[in-house]
Structure 1
Amino acid sequence: MFERFTSGARAVVTNAQTEARALHHDHIGTEHTLLALLADTDGAVARSTGLDANTVREDVLKRIGGHTQDGPVLSETDAEDAAALKAIGIDLAAVREAIEANFGAGALRIPPPADKRRRRHVPFTNRNKKVLELSLREAIRLKQKFIAPEHIMLGLLREGQGLAALILADRGVDFDQVRRDMEQAVSAKAA
């Protein structure tokens, strides 16, 4: 299947892995693929959805947490827990600052087990594998012998159940319009 991927589609797959690693996630989900699709700010996906990678990255961090260059980002559940602790007089930010002042920056970070440190491969989720499989089916449906980033977006829309689809829906993206835009863009590439 990957032999059909254009250089742009291959870049989406490798950039999805980069996004997952940057957020310190142990999987490559549909959300990482969406981030990789939006990395091309002039691409068909960014134009059609009206979204940018930074906005979607913030949504991902709010929903499932992760890390930025400034440290850990709490998920909504973690933030609710922090608020509950603050209500009884425990300020997690102040506790973190005090510990890092005494023991150094990153003192609270627990290193991954040795076997995970050696493991550089971040696996695709089954749902994201399905998205890539559906991108092939979309190319076949459109009678095209290549898979471009637009096909991957079509596969993501067709799968429709991952975090990426949830974020798109929450942001008010019109799936039918994006589908038409992707088909038009990929048909222009085939011509």
Structure 2
Amino acid sequence: MFERFTKEARFAVIGAQEEARLLRHSRIGAEHLLAAVAGRPQSLGGAALFRLGITPEACREAIRSTGSLDEDDAEALRSLGIDLSAVRARAERAFGPGALDRGASGTSGAGGADETASRWWPFRSPKGSRPHVPFAAEAKRALEQSLREALARKENWIGTEHIVLGVLTLDHPSTVKVLRALGTAPEALRADLLAHLRPAA
């Protein structure tokens, strides 16, 4: 399937891993795909996000503020009676925005912040290499849906516009929360994007 992706779409898929790394998340979610597409404003999908005032920075802030990362972990904590959103809110009141998303700022120990960050990651990688961040199930489904969106439009490529449509069709709760935090709704983004695409063949 990846051979169908346009250059911009490939950059967006690779960028989603970078977005997850920037936020120190252990999985790539559909919301990271949106943040990466927002970083390609010259593409059709990125332009739609840009028109609605959605930038990569705004996406990252919305992802942090909604606590939409690691939904499997959040669900496991909820089953134990722990509300991750409430914990995040208390931590941010005490330590500032994004307190749970970044490594400790102290530099105690030989490794300092890098050592702290490497302890945070829930998987190991060879020294000096960047850790691999796997795609969460909903991100994989969004990419599969992007192919369906392209086929439905009788287009033999997958562009950033199809990635955005795939993410929106999935309608994952974390993505909906992020979009609402950004001041829009999935339906509004979809309508704007479709209005700027050529009619489906």
Common fold by TM > 0.5: yes
| Structure 1 residues 186 and 65: CA distance shift in structure 2, 3 A | closer
- Rounded Cα–Cα distance in structure 2 between residues aligned with 1:133 and 1:125: 13
Task: Indicate if the aligned counterparts of 1:40 and 1:46 stay in contact, CA closer than 8 A.
Answer: no
Task: Indicate if the aligned counterparts of 2:145 and 2:170 stay in contact, CA closer than 8 A.
Answer: yes
Residue 61 of structure 1, CA deviation: 2.0
Matched, 1:47 2:39: no
Structure 2: gaps of 5 or more residues: 70-84, 96-103
In percent, how many aligned pairs have the same letter? 34
Matched, 1:80 2:90: yes
Whichever residue aligns with residue 2 of structure 1, its letter is F
Task: Indicate if the aligned counterparts of 2:62 and 2:182 stay in contact, CA closer than 8 A.
Answer: no
2:27 counterpart residue number: 27
Residue 139 of structure 1, CA deviation: 0.6
1:151 counterpart residue number: 162
TM-score (norm 2): 0.69
Residue 79 of structure 1, CA deviation: 4.4
2:124 counterpart residue number: 116
Q: Which runs of 4+ in 1 moved over 6 A?
A: none
Structure 1: gaps of 5 or more residues: 67-74, 86-95
Matched, 1:58 2:68: no
**Does the residue aligned with 1:109 lie in a helix, a strand or coil?**
helix
Count of residues in Structure 1 that have an aligned counterpart in Structure 2: 171
Residue 177 of structure 1, CA deviation: 3.3
Whichever residue aligns with residue 117 of structure 1, its letter is S
1:72 counterpart residue number: none
Residue 83 of structure 1, CA deviation: 5.6
Instruction: Compare the two structures and name the one with the higher helix fraction.
Output: 1
Which protein shows a greater Rg?
1
1:135 counterpart residue number: 146
Matched, 1:161 2:169: no
CA RMSD of aligned residues (A): 3.5
